[in-house]
Structure 1
Amino acid sequence: MHPVKPAEEIVVLVDQDNQPIGVVTRKIMRQQRLIHRASYILVFNTCGELFIQKRSRSKDIYPGYWDLAAGGVVLEGESYEDAAKRELREELGISGIKLRPLFDQYYEDAANRVWGRIFACTSNGPFALQEEEIDEGRFIALGEIEQLNRIEPFTPDGLLLLARLPR
C-alpha cells in the first residue's frame, strides 16, 4: 500500500464557528483557502525550553520558516487529539506522551484560514525528525524567540499562539 500524498489527504472543513461542514483534499483546501482544523503541539523540555522546527522548503505553506509547534491538519475521522498524537509520531518520532490542551485559536492570513487547538507536552527527546517536513530542530528559551525572529522568519500562526502563552 502506497502512502497518501499530502496533497491528496482528506481534511475536515469547518465554518467560522469551528463547526464541521464537509471534507476536501488538502490541495483544494489550500487552493481555495478554506477554513480547516489543525493541531499544534508545543514540546517543552524539563528546563522549560521549547523545541522549534525549521519547516522543509517543500512545505505547501510557510516553507523554510521556523515553527514553534509540531502538528498539522486534522484529517477526516480524526479528533484534534488524534491528529496531535499522529503528528508527534510522524514529525518527531515520539509517542505515549501526555498532551495538555491549552486553548483554541482562529488564525487567518492571505494563505491560510485555520482553527487550531494548541496542546503542550514535555519531552527531552531524542527526536527522529521527519525528513520530508523538517530540516532541523532545537530547543530554545521562549525569551529568545523574538530575537531569532528578527533574523529568520517564524510561522505567523505560531507567533500568534506564542503571544497567548503564560510566561
Structure 2
Amino acid sequence: MGELVERVDEHDCVLDIVDRDKAIRARWLHRVATVVCRDDAGRIFVHRRPEDSTRFPGYYNWLIGGAVGVGESYEDAARRELTEELRARGRIRFVLKFLCQGAIAPYWLGLHEAVIDRTVAPDPSEIGWYDWLPEADLRKALRHWPFVPDSIEAFAKYHGSRLADVMPACSNGEVSCGGHEESR
C-alpha cells in the first residue's frame, strides 16, 4: 500500500483511510495542503516540475504542497511539505480552503502563505527549475507558460478573482486550464 490519506466528504469530514492513488483513481475527495512562498520583498517562488515527474512533467507551479497525511492538520502538512520540498522553514499562515475540482481528481485544498529565506535547497525530484517572481510577472507567466491546472484554479481563489480574469478564454468561450491529463 502507498501513501495513506483520509477520504473526506463534501463537508471535509473524514469517511475512511485509503491509499492516495486509489482515492485519485476513484475520484474520492481527500486533502491537500499548499504553501505560497514569498521572500522578504514579496516575490513568489515559482518552479517547474521535473521532466520525469509522473504528474504534469515540465509544468510550472507557484505552490509547494502535497497530500495531508492521516491525522495531520492542513497547517502541519503545509509545514512538512515546505521542509521536504525546499528544505526551508517559515511561519505558516492559513489563507483559505476550498473544494478544488482538480485536473486529475477533486480534493479539498488548504492554501497557506509563508515568508521564507531565498536560500532554499529544492528537492530535485520535485523541482527542476525555480525563480522568485514579482506577482505581476507571475500573472503574465500564468497566461503564457504551461501551469499545473489546479494551480491556476488556486490562483483565482487566492486573489478572489474569477478564473477568466487569470486565463484567456478559448474560442468557444470556455476557460482553458492547460488541457493536460495525468501522465501514466
* TM-score, length-scaled by structure 2: 0.79
Q: 1:159 to 1:137 in 2, by over 3 A?
A: same
Letter in 2 for 1:142: E
Q: Which residue of 2 aligns with 1:163?
A: 156
Q: 1:57 to 1:25 in 2, by over 3 A?
A: farther
For residues 77-130 of structure 1, the C-alpha deviation after alignment (integer angstroms, 9 at most, x for no partner) is: 2111111111011000012x2111111111114512110111101013211111
Paired residues, what number? 160
Write the distance in 1 (CA, Å) between the matches of 2:30 and 2:71: 13
Write the distance in 2 (CA, Å) between the matches of 1:33 and 1:92: 29
Letter in 1 for 2:22: I
Structure that is richer in strand per residue: 1
Letter in 1 for 2:62: L
* TM-score, length-scaled by structure 1: 0.87
Q: Which residue of 1 aligns with 2:177?
A: none
Structure label with greater radius of gyration: 2
Letter in 2 for 1:148: A
Runs of 4+, deviation exceeding 6 Å: none
Query: Which blocks of at least 5 consecutive residues in structure 1 are unaligned?
Result: 1-6
Q: Which residue of 2 aligns with 1:75?
A: 69
Residue 49 in structure 1 maps to residue 40 in structure 2: no
Q: Is the 8 Å Cα contact of residues 9 and 25 (structure 1) preserved in structure 2?
A: yes
Q: Which residue of 1 aligns with 2:27?
A: 33
- After TM superposition, list the pairs within 5 Å mapping 1:107-118 onto structure 2: 107-118=100-111
Letter in 2 for 1:46: D
